[in-house]
Structure 1
Amino acid sequence: MHIVRQGLLCVVLLTLLVGCEIVTPEPAVEEDAAIEVLFAQSTTGSTGLDLMLAQAIDSTTSTIDIAAYDLNISTVVDALVRAHQRGVTVRLVVEGDYQERDGPTELQRVGAPVVIERRDPYMHNKFMVLDDRTVWTGSWNYAYNETYRNDNNVVIINSSAVAENYSAEFEEMFTRQLFGAGSPADTPHPQVQIGEVEVQVYFSPEDNPQRQIVDVLKSAQSSIYFMAFNLTDNDISDALLRKQREGLVVRGVMETEQSTSTGSDFDALQAGGVDVVLDGNDYRMHHKVFIVDEAVVITGSYNFTRSAAQSNDENVLIITSPEIAARYLEEFSRVYQQAQEAQ
């Protein structure tokens, strides 16, 4: 009887498996949404990201949710305090290593709620959601050096669907106290179509963005340009080396300070023929960017490391848009030229 029941169970399971297929969710479509890209470029004077963000904060009317590795620059902190004092709900999740910086302490002083992430792995996000509609994200920490000395990029997305993704991630950390591998993979809209621009949103480690990054690199047909603050993930480096052997243009800039850190793949990439150089910024080249086939941009808080893949809280955008890719290629050309001049 036990054997019969086991056999019937197998038949039922097989029927269910045959009758089901993995369905990729249809992308959310928003024709009235918009994307803007900004860069912190100390060498060209094109900076002031803090002033622009403060202006956006001053325009909010209902909510501001912040996930910040570091929050310390006074223009942004003061704007958040003003928002709280005029009745906007301001909430912060901050990395524990930076809990005593001006942002967390000032917000706590005026009574805004602050959650401090105290695990050993980092809460490495740098994003804000304004009025459940506008997302600021990228490589930029809200600190002085990050704004006026380091190389960084910011993506501003006005999209309720993208904002819903980031709000869901924020609630996991702020309300449910779920971080790292404990976070559920439940991003509401992994793909969002904004006019002709496709935006994919992933959170690490739960959404496994490392796999998505490697897949995009493997799909490259003509070129890969990259700016990497840190690159120690062998799967990513192997994909770059493979494309180099296939004859594609593979060219990159890596942060000098991190190139000698344990596990850095800088030497291996150079030895494999990849045109990779060390940056020329006297402070830090803090980008985490790939530009593939001059059409796809990968960016976010995610350094290309095993820690980012397996334990840190991170976010990644994969943006398909030749126009946006062109903006990042301009920044790459500037950073690459500066690196060459510093050799």
Structure 2
Amino acid sequence: MDMRRRLTYLAVVLITISIVIAVIVPRMRGSEASRPDPAASGPWFDIAFTTPAETDQPGTHHGGIDTRLVSLIDGAQRTVDIAAYDFDLMNVAEAMARASGRGVRVRMVTDSDTVANVKDEHVQAALRTVRSAKVTIVEDNRRAIMHHKFAVVDEAIVLTGSWNFTDGDTYRLNNNAVIFRNAQLAENFTHEFEEMFVKKHFGPTKSKVVPNPQITIGTSTIETYFASENDPSQPLTRRINASTSRIDFLAFSFTHDGLGAALISRKRAGIPVRGVFEKTGSETRFAEYAHLRDAGAEVYQDGNRYVMHHKVFVIDGTTTAFGSFNFSDNASTDNDENLIIVDDPVFAKAFTAEVDRVVAVARKASGR
């Protein structure tokens, strides 16, 4: 083979390898190699945040926090329970189908509006994939919404947070997802799941019982609250009222007057209050943004061109409250929601860093 032919052959090989890498690597969503590093981790938790780009590029939509859920499902030995308000991630649907195919019991609860969204082919394709694997899907069939976003694997691991199992929530919106490795917490979420899946009870018709309302792990504690059978705004208000040094928050929707009044009271007592509101809806007469701004709190409208979807409070740098629970009356009294309150300084530090990051983007967008 002469030198020219060798160079041509080498060029073809290199081009072929490049094409293979470009095609295959984005598809390795469920692999360990593509899993993003957690923002913080400990013996019993992993915290992850989405990192939306300033300019969205759909071709880069791979390797996000969705891969963490895929890995959990792929590792399931016995059971997978999914409660998903919104759902269009095909890699998650395929992982559920794989689990069902290998004999894992897979169950799903979703909101009726999601199933009825026939115009969204991505949603319908994901649901078809799950159903084709003989996975039963239960809908809430009511006006209020089933707003949970959680997974329970092998009755030992829980994933929950603000993150909906959709492409947009994964790559465009600011979200959080936390994996807990704790059987007691898994029992709490399994109980909530079975209220909906088995008993077909939603909203205020669910049992008020939480098997393990407070869980102690070393010097840390986890409290579990489900709406609307147990109004999460009440324990959150108590935590705000007891704050002694500072309060940070991120709010997709904040229209709850009681929570707003509690923050204003702490601000007037000399406690620094800092927060970011999702811009859309923040200036309506129902929102708490103007009330807090006028009270002197350090509040911002977010700078994400899409949506800032967090629902988080960090209190005194040691307590974190987060979950699906928006800070609204509907979330408190009508919807199916969860709020987790964690007392752990490492956990709180990770969420405080996320608040710092979202605040920086908001400040840049506003020119402040």
Structure 2: distance between partners of 1:197 and 1:105:
41
Structure 2: distance between partners of 1:33 and 1:324:
12
1:8 matched residue in structure 2: none
Which residues of 2 match residues 33-182 of structure 1 at below 5 A? 34-43=44-53, 48-99=64-115, 100=117, 101=123, 102-182=125-205
Structure 2: distance between partners of 1:104 and 1:218:
43
Runs of 4+ in 1 over 3 A off after TM superposition: 43-47
CA RMSD of aligned residues (A): 1.6
1:234 matched residue in structure 2: 257
Pick from 233, 238, 242: which aligns with 1:215? 238
Higher RCO, 1 or 2 (CA under 8 Å, sep at least 6)?
1
Q: How many positions carry a matched residue from both structures? A: 312
Q: Within the alignment, does 1:320 sit opposite 2:343 as a pair?
A: yes
Q: Report the CA distance between 1:262 and its aligned residue.
A: 5.3
Q: Helix, strand or coil: the match of 2:229?
A: coil
Structure 2: distance between partners of 1:142 and 1:209:
23
Q: Within the alignment, does 1:284 sit opposite 2:307 as a pair?
A: yes
Q: Report the CA distance between 1:33 and its aligned residue.
A: 6.2
Q: Report the CA distance between 1:261 and its aligned residue.
A: 4.3
Q: Report the CA distance between 1:258 and its aligned residue.
A: 2.5
Q: Is the 8 A contact 1:47 1:147 kept in 2?
A: no
Q: Is the 8 A contact 1:94 1:104 kept in 2?
A: no
Q: List alignment gaps of at least 5 residues for structure 2.
A: 1-41, 55-59, 118-122
Q: Is the 8 A contact 2:94 2:130 kept in 1?
A: no
Q: Is the 8 A contact 2:174 2:309 kept in 1?
A: yes
TM-score where L is the length of structure 1? 0.88
Structure 1: distance between partners of 2:157 and 2:205:
27
Q: Report the CA distance between 1:83 and its aligned residue.
A: 0.9
Q: Helix, strand or coil: the match of 1:150?
A: coil
Q: Report the CA distance between 1:260 and its aligned residue.
A: 3.3
Q: List alignment gaps of at least 5 residues for structure 1.
A: 1-31
Pick from 320, 328, 342: which aligns with 1:305? 328
Structure 1: distance between partners of 2:348 and 2:143:
35
- For residues 180-215 of structure 1, give each alpha carbon's deviation from its aligned partner in whole angstroms, at most 9, with x where no partner exists: 010111110001112222100110111221100000
Q: For the structure 1 residues 112 and 261, does the alpha-carbon distance in structure 2 shift closer, same or farther, using more than 3 Å as the test? A: farther
Q: Helix, strand or coil: the match of 1:289?
A: strand
Amino acid across the alignment from 2:65: L
TM-score where L is the length of structure 2? 0.82
2:272 matched residue in structure 1: 249
